[in-house]
Homo-oligomer: A and B are copies of this chain.
């Protein structure tokens, strides 16, 4: 049997179906589906993506039999429409559109009115009742589209002709052009094509059709499409389908029109028909914005029959697709045709409203509802946002590093931010990049903007932890911290100028946009309840203080997966003691300095333990290299030396001694604790003394002590011995016994390889996939931004591995680590505490490899809960 390449639709039936998107593309499959439902669509046919694939495989030839099928289907369209392709009397015109498996905005545009030539234009005039303006407007549009899209003559050259004629005729709008002018424009366009291509404009409709089909096929490999595919990870071997469909016209008079609509309100989710239309117009005109479209309800007055049919179709489509639809329609002389239906995009609020309503009305199950809400929807629900009605004056783009929105005056230093906050002024902190010393200023700001750094830069990570809006790596900005100016192109902003940050879309805008507050409505709670019923993965939070811990708990966190104790050391009241410890000559000197930190650190833990009553709290021991606690610039060293009462040389020597070529791979993590066990001792003591005290208050405490950067079992053995010894000592003194666990962060490739050994000593593994990604790829998070961007562009990377876990490589290491770890310790608790813990695809991965929980910043907790539930619905049958 010969292969089938072409699938017809129309006349109440179709050869395709909605579930044949892989073969027919999204558009073609849905047209077929509507036809099958008996919904009126202009008849046509879809040439399958498989044909496209074979076309390329054979070096640009149609697969055997394809053209014959096209001809047969064209004949069927002629039969259904009663028109004839290329006929001078009663010509059939068609549209030709690409249509891949997923929507690809970067691909070929549409060709409308194909089949027109100097002969058929006459027949069209007859059919249009002599409306020459309509006919020649159609003709010149066709010549332009075909010339541009199929033959590659730049669109601007056709525009030039159009403008010349408008000038000549002394009019401003296209609609004011006379039929003669339009006719002349069409003729001039055809001449232009001949001049440019060296061949006359193809008059033969069959040749036009072949050329258009070839052009659609070839558009699969044009630069825009390739870039788009690379960016979104779409395989090259999918190919695109081609839709050829009889033209219908919404611009043939007062009983014609065109419109777009949503089956429900896409902004609120309210169950009302929502859309707009224009009478006597084509789709283009709606988009062009020359005339103001009317609300869809008004159609009832103008064409009650058509409106009634549309309402009926609205209901049938929703029932059939069981989701809100985004539809396009055209009315030709009173007759309604549907041109497209697809799932409607919606806001977070609408997504939840629609999902809850559809479950309540029995249209979908809770599991289906869970798949209907996206992570971006949840995110929108948690933050203040820019009012959707605002028009932003965007001056730069960066990475959407932390969602939400922020409006304030520009300040360039953390000190200025803090001062402004005290003076009750709202500010946005603008820095080339942030460092731990900026944290106070970040807290005081409405948002953070940086010129350098990626999604996991200091600014991004800290801002997400705070739930504060951040746009990072806006590389077009030139920040002069001395002059206190921010320059982008010709625009120079000074301190005090107001800007708006859009952390959801990574935008920087001039002026103050209006913001709207998050709406945690009852539906949100209801929906999240379903999510929690379904998911299997636990969701914890990364939190370093009681405030964040509390907030995360409100967002549904079931424990803390990562408390970074070093943030505590950076605080102003303990940094001096920390520095003294670093400068101490020996363990005794270090102990003395640490003794001053102990009571403060104990208070930190008391606060956190109270906030997380009854839930586990994972505390990571000191991780960063010590030089992070010392200044690096001579002037700062000099001033600190003075404060500390030591010589500049002494401090400078220490800074030099601690300096590392690659601090990422240096003396940090448990390597510090092994060199200086007194640090581990102090931290363990603070943890267990706090735990005992809180437990004595009648509050259940579940500390999990995490040893960072373990690569060899001997390292955790060494550190665990210290922790256990201190625990016993504290429990003996306090007369209390507290349940606790000791485990490790798995963030070094070697740890994955020898996870079986490590798991004999560790009670839990927490995958630190930030560092694991750095080391598995050999990418420094601080430096790789530049070439990762290039890699994404060139398709070498599909995703930034610091944003979404690299399932194949880093994921392979994680899987190995879990499998080997559980092989010797079946009770091993396994989680993730890297930035990936709040990223939906990464959460899905964590579910699939059987982790016990993910941990993420407080504002990602609801997203992680959703992603965990979605993973169950998608993969666990």
| Contact partner, A753, options B778, B784, B813, Cβ 8 Å | B813
Would B666 and A709 count as touching, CB distance under 8 A?
A: no
Residues of B within 8 A of A774 (CB): 665
Cα–Cα distance between A795 and B660 once the two chains are bound (Å): 24
Residues of B within 8 A of A748 (CB): 776-778
Does A64 sit at the interface, judged by CB under 8 A?
no
Residues of B within 8 A of A750 (CB): 776-778, 806, 809-810
Stretch at the interface among A151-159, A582-590, A607-615, A710-718: A710-718
Residues of B within 8 A of A796 (CB): 674, 712, 714-715, 718
Cα–Cα distance between A33 and B822 once the two chains are bound (Å): 48
Most B Cβ at <10 Å: residue of A674, A771, A777: A777
Does A783 sit at the interface, judged by CB under 8 A?
yes
Residues of B within 8 A of A808 (CB): 753-754
What is the size, in residues, of chain A's interface with B at 8 Å between Cβ atoms? 48
Does A19 sit at the interface, judged by CB under 8 A?
no
Would B787 and A660 count as touching, CB distance under 8 A?
A: no
Would A812 and B780 count as touching, CB distance under 8 A?
A: no
- Considering only residues 623-678 of chain A, those with a C-beta below 8 Å from chain B are 660-667, 671, 674-675
Does A286 sit at the interface, judged by CB under 8 A?
no
Cα–Cα distance between A667 and B777 once the two chains are bound (Å): 12
Does A786 sit at the interface, judged by CB under 8 A?
yes
Contact with B along A777-795 (1 / 0, CB 8 A): 1111011101100110011
Cα–Cα distance between A782 and B661 once the two chains are bound (Å): 6
Cα–Cα distance between A754 and B807 once the two chains are bound (Å): 11
Does A749 sit at the interface, judged by CB under 8 A?
yes
Would A776 and B794 count as touching, CB distance under 8 A?
A: no
Q: How far is the CB of A167 from chain B (nearest CB, A)?
A: 40
Does A161 sit at the interface, judged by CB under 8 A?
no
Known contacts A709-B778, A753-B808, A778-B748, A790 near B662 by CB under 8 Å: no
- Copies of this chain assembled into the complex: 2
Q: How far is the CB of A453 from chain B (nearest CB, A)?
A: 11
Q: How far is the CB of A657 from chain B (nearest CB, A)?
A: 9
Residues of B within 8 A of A787 (CB): 667, 671, 674-675
Cα–Cα distance between A747 and B674 once the two chains are bound (Å): 28
Would B749 and A775 count as touching, CB distance under 8 A?
A: yes
Contact with B along A803-839 (1 / 0, CB 8 A): 0001011101100000000000000000000000000
Q: Residue on B with the closest CB to A808?
A: B754
Q: Residue on B with the closest CB to A666?
A: B783
Cα–Cα distance between A709 and B796 once the two chains are bound (Å): 14
Cα–Cα distance between A750 and B816 once the two chains are bound (Å): 13
Cα–Cα distance between A317 and B814 once the two chains are bound (Å): 57
Residues of B within 8 A of A749 (CB): 749, 775-776, 778, 809, 813
Would A665 and B784 count as touching, CB distance under 8 A?
A: yes
Residues of B within 8 A of A667 (CB): 783-784, 786-787
Cα–Cα distance between A115 and B660 once the two chains are bound (Å): 60
Does A234 sit at the interface, judged by CB under 8 A?
no
Does A187 sit at the interface, judged by CB under 8 A?
no
Residues of B within 8 A of A663 (CB): 661-662, 780, 783
Known contacts A675-B790, A753-B813, A754-B808, A711 near B664 by CB under 8 Å: no
Would A783 and B661 count as touching, CB distance under 8 A?
A: yes
Residues of B within 8 A of A780 (CB): 660-666
Does A873 sit at the interface, judged by CB under 8 A?
no
Nearest 10 pairs between A and B by C-beta?
A665-B780, A662-B780, A661-B782, A750-B809, A749-B749, A660-B783, A753-B812, A714-B796, A662-B662, A662-B664
